[in-house]
């Protein structure tokens, strides 16, 4: 039996989206640090503005350096297209704003990044879009929360901060049974560990700032269009299936079909909301993506070593990571994440809030920052940082206890990471 001779993941990480610069032959991706692009003539300009032909007009809408990153990320995820944004939150907003309008409703996992929770819970209602939050493991809850106004189901591939593994095929099926798309934040897994579109997701978003970039020096986000969802099967998605006055009555689905979401998100969302990625950031993030397979493999290996250590330390009361056999999603993780369940884990520290504070203040190698997915090991106490805007009730519902430490395992020598953790854990118990 013949097989498709597709380029493999590692190769695409290095090459997808880029040809040597046609003018200079530059092998590296040039930084096109420009706001605008000279038109050949008025006819070409009119054609570009009117979506008659592709090309760059203004870097808020598209830029050649950013376009390389977009094409590369779409290639790695198996999406039909991608739109990069200034941050992961900008990507989340762009996706929501492209498919929804006032009066619509979201069903979302309750175990998501605090910023995403805030946007859905506090900000979007001001624009008429409401959300029902559900336990991501409770499939009946997903079903029963869907209303006639629901337009999307949203979750993270690995929850935050409990590292819940979403049963993507099951939740995708629930969404599709109701004529809805499933949108996933896959920041914690990256396409190296999981390809959600192959598992049934329709829209994938990332904070590219995290593992995809890996270096922690540039912000960025991306919306990836799976291209399999039929936006015109119902009348639920008029932004994609109905004529749009913004481009003289074009229907994005009629003209672009499976690429309708990508096209509208750029043509309207970047044009009007303007949360564009800078070309310099795209360049930095591309350097990270080139080594994504190598780094993720090392992240996973170091995480396993760190977990082995934490499991034997008396100051650690519990560990939450899908690779641990006691984790509720351990078996699901083996099925959906065969290469590993990522490098972010949480653990409880004996002694609660005060011990947690002492631990954080005594790590020396690990950095205390509001970030994850860096090449360097990072720690944080979510109850006082990323999730501090949440009410006590929401905090509890999100599984954030006062003793919870979130650890993003980096690429340092694992012996050094463990030595640092051991020292800080020991200090944490000296009350």
Partner 1 sequence: MEVKFQETKISLATGGVKVDKEQPPVLLVHGAGMDRTVWSQQTRYLAHHGFSPMAVDLPGHGKSGGELLSTIPAMADWIADLIGELDMGPVRLVGHSMGSLISLEVAAHHPDAVERIILMGAAAAMPVHPDLLGAAERNEILAPQLMTAWAHGARAHVAGNPTPGLWMRSGCQALLERAADGVIYNDLAACNSYEAGDIAGQIDCPITVIVGSEDKMTPPKATAQLVAGFEEVDLRHLKGVGHMMMIEAPDQIRELMLSALR
Determine which residue in the list 227, 351, 373, 382 makes contact with partner 1, applying CB under 8 A: 227
Segment near partner 1 (CB under 8 A); pick from 12-20, 123-131, 382-390, 407-415: 12-20
As measured in angstroms, the least distance from the Cβ of 351 to partner 1 is 49
Segment near partner 1 (CB under 8 A); pick from 48-56, 283-291, 313-321, 347-355: 48-56
Determine which residue in the list 138, 140, 149, 254 makes contact with partner 1, applying CB under 8 A: 254
Q: What 3-state class would DSSP assign to 289? A: helix
As measured in angstroms, the least distance from the Cβ of 175 to partner 1 is 17
290 near partner 1 (CB under 8 A): no
Residues 367 and 345: their CA atoms lie apart, in Å, by 15
Residues 143 and 283: their CA atoms lie apart, in Å, by 42
Nearest in space to 344 (alpha carbons), one of 115, 178, 157: 157
Residues 418 and 431: their CA atoms lie apart, in Å, by 22
Residue whose CB is less far from partner 1, 6 or 126: 6
As measured in angstroms, the least distance from the Cβ of 249 to partner 1 is 6
Segment near partner 1 (CB under 8 A); pick from 120-128, 243-251, 322-330, 351-359: 243-251
Nearest in space to 151 (alpha carbons), one of 91, 94, 105: 105
6 near partner 1 (CB under 8 A): yes
Q: What does each C-alpha distance from 320 to 302, 334, 363, 378 come to in angstroms?
A: 16, 15, 20, 16
> Which residues have a Cβ under 8 Å from the Cβ of 123 and sit 6 or more positions away?
none
User: In the structure encoding, which two tokens stand for residue 154, read together?
Assistant: 């949203």
As measured in angstroms, the least distance from the Cβ of 276 to partner 1 is 11
91 near partner 1 (CB under 8 A): no
> Which residues have a Cβ under 8 Å from the Cβ of 312 and sit 6 or more positions away?
none
Regarding beta strands 203-207 and 130-134, do their DSSP bridges make them parallel or antiparallel, or are they unpaired?
Answer: unpaired
**CB count in 10 Å sphere of residue 429:** 15
Hey, which bits of 291-402 come out as E strands? 316-320, 344-349, 367-368, 378-380
Residue whose CB is less far from partner 1, 30 or 78: 78
Residue whose CB is less far from partner 1, 264 or 406: 264
Q: What 3-state class would DSSP assign to 12? A: helix
Q: What 3-state class would DSSP assign to 115? A: helix
71 near partner 1 (CB under 8 A): yes
287 near partner 1 (CB under 8 A): no
As measured in angstroms, the least distance from the Cβ of 185 to partner 1 is 19
84 near partner 1 (CB under 8 A): yes
| 201 in Cβ contact with 79 (< 8 Å) | no
Determine which residue in the list 33, 36, 50, 123 makes contact with partner 1, applying CB under 8 A: 50
Residue whose CB is less far from partner 1, 252 or 359: 252
| 203 in Cβ contact with 181 (< 8 Å) | yes
Q: What is the largest CA-CA distance in the chain?
A: 74
Per-residue x/- mask for partner 1, residues 177 to 206, rule CB under 8 A?
Answer: ------------------------------
Determine which residue in the list 32, 79, 145, 300 makes contact with partner 1, applying CB under 8 A: 79
Q: Estimate the share of the chain in helix, then strand, then coil, as percent rounded to the nearest 5.
A: 40, 15, 45
176 near partner 1 (CB under 8 A): no
As measured in angstroms, the least distance from the Cβ of 85 to partner 1 is 11
Give the number of residues in contact with partner 1, rule: CB under 8 A: 56
Contact residues for partner 1 (CB under 8 A)? Answer: 1-2, 4-7, 15-19, 46-47, 50-56, 62-64, 66-68, 70-71, 74-75, 78-84, 226-228, 230, 232, 243, 247-251, 254-259, 262, 266
């Amino acid at each position: 039996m013949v097989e498709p001779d597709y380029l493999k993941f590692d190769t695409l990480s290095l090459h997808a989206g880029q040809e040597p610069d046609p003018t200079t032959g530059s092998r590296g991706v040039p930084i096109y640090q420009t706001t605008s692009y000279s038109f050949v003539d008025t006819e070409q300009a009119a054609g570009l503005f009117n979506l008659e032909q592709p090309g760059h007009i203004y870097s808020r809408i598209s830029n050649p350096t950013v376009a390389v990153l977009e094409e590369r990320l779409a290639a790695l995820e198996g999406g039909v297209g991608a739109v990069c944004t200034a941050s992961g939150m900008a990507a989340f907003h762009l996706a929501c704003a492209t498919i929804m309008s006032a009066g619509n409703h979201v069903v979302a996992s309750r175990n998501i990044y605090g910023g995403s929770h805030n946007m859905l819970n506090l900000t979007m209602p001001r624009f008429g879009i409401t959300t029902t939050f559900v336990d991501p493991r409770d499939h009946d809850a997903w079903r029963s929360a869907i209303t006639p106004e629901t337009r999307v189901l949203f979750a993270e591939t690995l929850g935050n901060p409990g590292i819940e593994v979403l049963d993507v095929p099951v939740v995708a099926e629930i969404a599709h049974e109701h004529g809805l798309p499933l949108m996933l934040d896959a920041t914690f897994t990256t396409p190296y560990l999981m390809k959600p579109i192959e598992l049934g997701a329709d829209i994938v978003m990332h904070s590219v700032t995290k593992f995809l970039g890996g270096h922690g020096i540039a912000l960025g986000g991306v919306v990836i269009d799976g291209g399999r969802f039929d936006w015109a099967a119902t009348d639920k998605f008029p932004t994609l299936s109905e004529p749009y006055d913004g481009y003289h009555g074009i229907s994005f689905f009629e003209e672009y079909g499976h690429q309708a979401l990508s096209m509208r998100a750029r043509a309207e969302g970047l044009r009007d909301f303007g949360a564009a990625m800078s070309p310099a950031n795209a360049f930095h993030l591309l350097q990270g993506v080139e080594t994504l397979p190598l780094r993720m493999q090392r992240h996973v290996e170091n995480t396993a070593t760190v977990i082995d250590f934490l499991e034997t330390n008396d100051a650690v009361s519990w560990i939450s990571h899908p690779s641990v056999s006691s984790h509720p999603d351990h078996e699901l993780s083996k099925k959906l994440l065969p290469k590993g369940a990522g490098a972010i884990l949480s653990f409880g520290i004996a002694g609660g809030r005060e011990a947690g504070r002492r631990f954080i203040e005594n790590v020396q190698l690990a950095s205390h920052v509001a970030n994850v997915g860096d090449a360097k090991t990072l720690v944080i106490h979510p109850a006082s940082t990323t999730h501090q805007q949440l009410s006590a009730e929401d905090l509890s519902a999100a599984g954030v206890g006062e003793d919870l430490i979130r650890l993003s395992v980096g690429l340092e020598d694992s012996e050094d990471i463990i030595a640092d953790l051991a020292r800080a854990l020991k200090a944490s118990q000296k009350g």
